[in-house]
A and B are shown apart, each in its own frame.
Chain A
C-alpha cells in the first residue's frame, strides 16, 4: 500500500523541492540567466536589493499587506461573529454567499471595481449627475487596499467563523451565571477562544496580500509597485532571473517570519479548528 505514494514522492521531488533549490541557486549566483555554465557564486543580488529604491518597495509591500490584514480583521470579525450566532440553516446560506464570489475569476472581480470607481465609472457618473466633481478614486494606494480587502476578506472571515461556531455554549452560560454581562463575556471568553481563527485568518490574508502583483497592477496604475511587481518584471520582462530569485527568497523569508510570529500567538494549535496544519 505504501508504494502508492511513490509517484507523488517523485512528483514532489521534481516539481516542488528541486525548483525551490534552483531558485536558491539562482539567488546566490550571477551570470547570463540563459546559460548555466556562466553562473558564478555571488551575493551581488542581495546587495543590489539594499538600494533604497528596492527597500522602499519592500517596506511599502509590508505596510499595505499589514494595513489590509488589519482592515480585514476589523471588517471581518464582526461579520463572522454575527453569522456564528444565526440559526444553522441561515449560517450555511451566509457562508455559502461568502464563498461564491471567491470562485469567480479574481481578475474579473478586481477589474470590476474599475467599472464602479473609475474615471467614467458608476460612482463618478452618479456624482457628476448630481452636480459634484468627479473624484480620482482609482490608481492609488487606497484602491490597492480596497482590492486586497475585497479579495481576501473571506480568508479572514471563514477561519474566525469556524472557530466561533465551535465555542462550547455552556461556557457562555457559565460566564453569564457568574454575573458577567455581555460585553465582559465577549471580552473574557469569546475573544480569547477565537484567537486561533484570528491567527489563521491573519496568515491567510497577509501571505497573498504581501505577494500580489495583480491587484497593484490592475488598481494601482503604473506607479504602483509591490515586491510582487518587481519579481514579475525580473522574470517576465527584464530577464534578470538571478535578481528575481533573490527577491523571491526575501519574500519567502518574510512570509515564514510572519507565520512564525503569528503562530506564537496561537498556543492551542492542536485540536482547534482554526489551524492550517
Chain B
C-alpha cells in the first residue's frame, strides 16, 4: 500500500517536473504585467501584439515555409531512396543505411558547422536557400527510416501481378507500391515537418543576411531580455504541435491495427 502511494507520488513529481515550465509559460502568456513572476491580471494583449510584430511574423513565415518545403522535398527524395535501398543487396544496403545514420547520430552542432563550411566552400550566400538545404539534409534520414518498415511489410508479388496484367513498371509503382506504403510516407513527412519547425542549432549556423526563423528569434530575444509576446507565441506553438502530434498518434495507432491484421492473415 505504502509503495503504491510512493509510486504515484514519484510519477506525479516527474510529470510536474516535465510540465511545470510549460504551464508557467501558458499562464504568463495571459499576464498583464511585463515582469516575470508578478501576476497583475488577465489579458490577451500579448496575443494581439504578437500578430502586430513584423519581426516575429516574418520569422514565423520563414519557419513554416522552410518546414513545408523541407518536408515535401525530403519526403520525395527519402521515399525514392527507401525504395531503392529496400531492393539492394546486403552490403550496399548496410553501407547506405549507415551513411543515413550520420546526420541522426552526429551532434547537431557538428552537422551545422560542417554545412556552414560547405556553403562557404561553394560560395553560396547564407540565407533562406542554405537554411532550406540544411533542413532537407537532416530530414531525409527520418523519412527513409519511416518508409523502410512499410516496404518490408509490402507483398512482393503485388507489383509483379500488376505487371503481369500489363502495367508498365512505372504504372505499377504509382498505382500499387505508392498507395501501399503511403502511411509510412505520410508519417515520415509529418516527422520531417515537426523536426524542421523545432530546429534551432542547424538553422542558427546555416542562415544569414537577416533571414531568421522562430527559434533564432527566441534565442536572440532571450539575450536581449524577453518580451512577453514570446509566452503567447509559445502557447500557440504548443497547442499546434499538440494537435499535430495527436493526428500522428491516431495514424500510427490505426497503422498498428492494420499491421496486426495483415500479419494475422
Contact = CB atoms under 8 A, between A and B. Distances in A.
Interface of A: 1-9, 11-12, 14-20, 22-23, 26, 33-34, 36, 75, 78-79, 82, 94, 96-101, 103-116, 118, 120-122, 124-125, 150, 153, 207-208, 210-214, 218, 228, 231-232, 235-236, 241, 244-245, 248, 251-252, 255, 259, 276-277
Nearest to B104: A276
Given A103-B242, A211-B107, 14 more contacts: A11-B137, A22-B114, A22-B118, A82-B11, A105-B215, A111-B218, A111-B230, A112-B234, A116-B24, A248-B109, A248-B113, A251-B107, A251-B110, A276-B101
Interface string B5-45: 00100110011011111101100100000011110000000
A120 B86 CA distance: 56
B185 to A, nearest CB: 13
Interface of A is mostly: helix
B115 A15 contact: yes
27 contacts: A2-B87, A5-B81, A7-B80, A11-B77, A15-B136, A78-B10, A103-B244, A104-B238, A105-B200, A106-B200, A109-B22, A112-B24, A115-B21, A115-B36, A121-B36, A124-B37, A125-B37, A153-B17, A207-B107, A211-B109, A211-B110, A214-B200, A214-B219, A241-B117, A244-B113, A248-B109, A252-B107
Contact of B215 (A101, A107, A235): A107
Given A99-B245, A100-B242, A211-B108, A105 B117 contact: no
Given A105-B218, A107-B215, A113-B21, A100 B35 contact: no
Contact of B237 (A4, A36, A108): A108
B117 A5 contact: no
Contacts of B83: 1, 4-5
Contact of A22 (B15, B121, B230, B238): B121
B100 interface: yes
Contact of B117 (A26, A103, A111, A118): A26
Q: How large is the interface on B (under 10, 10 to 19, 20 to 34, 35 or more residues)?
A: 35 or more
Contacts of A107: 200, 215, 218-219, 222
A244 B24 CA distance: 37
Contacts of A110: 21
A210 B18 CA distance: 21
A246 to B, nearest CB: 11
Contacts of B234: 104-105, 108, 112
Contact of B22 (A82, A104, A114, A228): A104
A116 B19 CA distance: 12
A228 B109 contact: yes
A112 B214 contact: no
B88 A231 contact: no
B99 to A, nearest CB: 5
B18 A153 contact: yes
Contact of A7 (B37, B81, B103, B121): B81
Contacts of B24: 112, 115-116, 122
B21 A15 contact: no
Given A5-B80, A5-B81, A114-B36, A75 B99 contact: no
Contacts of B230: 108, 111
A248 B137 CA distance: 19
B140 interface: yes
B168 interface: no
Top 10 A-B residue pairs of the complex, sorted by shortest distance between their CB atoms = A5-B84, A112-B21, A8-B81, A211-B107, A19-B114, A4-B84, A4-B80, A19-B118, A15-B137, A1-B87
A32 to B, nearest CB: 12
A11 B237 CA distance: 31
A189 B18 CA distance: 30
Interface in B88-128: 88, 96, 99-103, 105-111, 113-118, 120-121
B60 to A, nearest CB: 12
Contacts of B55: none
Contacts of B25: 108-109, 112, 115
A11 B113 contact: no
B158 interface: no
Contacts of B186: none
